[in-house]
């Protein structure tokens, strides 16, 4: 698989089918990216499991933390890795020994390890490298474009405010990214001689 580019259908397929996510290397420090990702995905309905030896036996946002993947007493669907690239092969080896096996190894932004990816894929696991599930969820659900981020569309129209409360948006629809506006479609019809108002 080409890990420099992922089709939206691949990422969407992962995010819509996994339910339980173990976050290896999560921090209890509220200013750390791993904490943000953990909290965000928990609020979107995923069952989140913190994995960090320094937090083992404690609770993070109401979820019991474990020292290793082996210690988790329930099946996990995805392992989200917040550890340096050189530690990923050992995490994959551990994940492959857990029964039942997780279906996905996800390496966070700036984390790439081809050896670990190859080992996981050779054993039937899906792999994502150098991506953040929080960002991908926000992008694919169009949540990230509420504030005009990554919308790829210029418009003078005021954006509709997002609904109040925590959002659980659908990932099963086509994204807004790269779409055309009504004005662009009208201009295109006029230039093709089809007129329009």
User: What whole-number distance in Å separates Cα of residue 115 and Cα of residue 121?
Assistant: 10
pLDDT for the residue 177: 43
pLDDT for the residue 146: 55
Mean pLDDT over the full length of the chain: 84
Burial class (CB in 10 A: 0-12, 13-18, 19+), 29: exposed
Eight-class DSSP state of 24: E
Is residue 179 predicted with pLDDT exceeding 80? no
pLDDT tens digits, 55-79: 999 999 999 999 999 999 999 999 9
Q: Which residues pair with 23 in a beta bridge?
A: 50, 80
Q: How many CB atoms lie within 10 A of CB 55?
A: 17
Q: Do residues 132 and 108 make contact, with C-beta atoms less than 8 angstroms apart?
A: yes
Please give the model's pTM, rounded to 2 decimal places: 0.76
User: What whole-number distance in Å separates Cα of residue 42 and Cα of residue 36?
Assistant: 10
pLDDT tens digits, 140-173: 988 765 555 544 555 555 555 555 554 455 665 5
pLDDT tens digits, 18-48: 999 999 999 999 999 999 999 999 999 999 9
- Cβ-Cβ contacts under 8 Å for 136 (sequence gap 6 or more): 11, 15
User: What whole-number distance in Å separates Cα of residue 154 and Cα of residue 183?
Assistant: 10
H runs (alpha helix) in 98-158: 114-122, 133-140
């Amino acid at each position: 698989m080409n890990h420099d580019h992922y089709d939206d259908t691949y990422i969407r397929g992962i995010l819509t089918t996994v339910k339980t996510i173990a976050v290896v290397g999560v921090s209890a420090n509220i200013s750390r990216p791993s904490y943000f990702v953990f909290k965000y995905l928990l609020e979107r309905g995923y069952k989140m499991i913190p994995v960090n030896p320094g937090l083992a036996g404690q609770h993070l946002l109401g979820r019991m933390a474990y020292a290793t993947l082996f210690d988790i007493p329930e099946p996990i669907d995805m392992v989200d890795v917040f550890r340096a690239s050189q530690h990923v092969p050992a995490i994959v080896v551990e994940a492959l020994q857990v029964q039942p096996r997780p279906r996905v190894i996800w390496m966070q932004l700036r984390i790439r390890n081809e050896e670990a990816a190859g080992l996981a894929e050779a054993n039937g696991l899906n792999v994502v490298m150098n991506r953040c599930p929080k960002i991908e969820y926000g992008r694919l659900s169009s949540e990230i474009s509420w504030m005009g981020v990554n919308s790829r569309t210029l418009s003078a129209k005021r954006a509709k405010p997002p609904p109040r409360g925590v959002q659980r948006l659908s990932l099963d629809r086509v994204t807004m990214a790269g779409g055309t506006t009504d004005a662009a479609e009208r201009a295109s019809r006029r230039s093709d001689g089809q007129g329009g108002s």
